[in-house]
Amino acid sequence: MSFTEKKLSSSRVFDGRIFKVERDEVELPDGSHSFRECVRHSGGAAVLFNRDGKIALVRQFRYLYGEELYEIPAGKLNEGERADVSALRELEEETGFRAKKIIPLAEIYPTPGYTDEIIHIFYVDEAQFCGQNLDEGEFLNVEFFSVGEVGAMIDDGRIKDAKTIIGFYRFKEKFFR
């Protein structure tokens, strides 16, 4: 049985810098009508950077949660930008490390009930230090942790960010089993 929902109309209700919001009227599988509230996002790119057995985490204040979070380096895709290009750019901007070789680890849907964002997660283990180069208004620290430490931080809830947790487990699946 197919559960497809058909778009009947769409109205843009917010036009932001990070995302847009649309409210679409849809036809449901039983023919009835409903509305879907849609956060439209250009997508994200993230990198698990393994430097000689240590994983780079950025610690930054996240306004939405009012706390500092540990996350792998990541950012928003520029319009039309390839995810791997974006990931390498963010890695260099945030950590100062420039890499050439990048390996896909996962593509994830962070919360499919209301956003269309796809987060592309990559793996890097060879990079050269060239100097951090943050965006204006971006403030963060870069710290390196062993594989065991990152696992423990997930276990005890110090790491809560979805892309970071998935990047770490995909990395372990790929290289440690």
Which is nearer to a copy of itself, 52 or 155 (by Cβ)? 155
Nearest approach in angstroms of CB 128 to a copy of itself is 26
Nearest approach in angstroms of CB 18 to a copy of itself is 5
Compute how many other C-beta atoms are within 10 angstroms of the C-beta atom of residue 30: 6
Which is nearer to a copy of itself, 16 or 53 (by Cβ)? 16
Instruction: Identify any residues that bridge with 114 across adjacent strands, giving them in sequence order.
Output: none
Residues that bind a copy of itself (CB under 8 A): 1-5, 13-14, 16-19, 21, 23-24, 26, 28-30, 32, 34-39, 41, 44, 60-65, 68-69, 71, 76, 106-117, 119, 137, 139-141, 155, 157, 160-163, 165-166, 169, 173
Give dist(CA 138, CA 115) in Å, integer: 24
Which is nearer to a copy of itself, 106 or 127 (by Cβ)? 106
Half-sphere CA count of 70, side-chain side, radius 13 A: 21
Q: What tokens does 4 get?
A: 């497809």
Q: What tokens does 17 get?
A: 């810098």
Instruction: Identify any residues that bridge with 143 across adjacent strands, giving them in sequence order.
Output: 57
Catalytic residues: 136
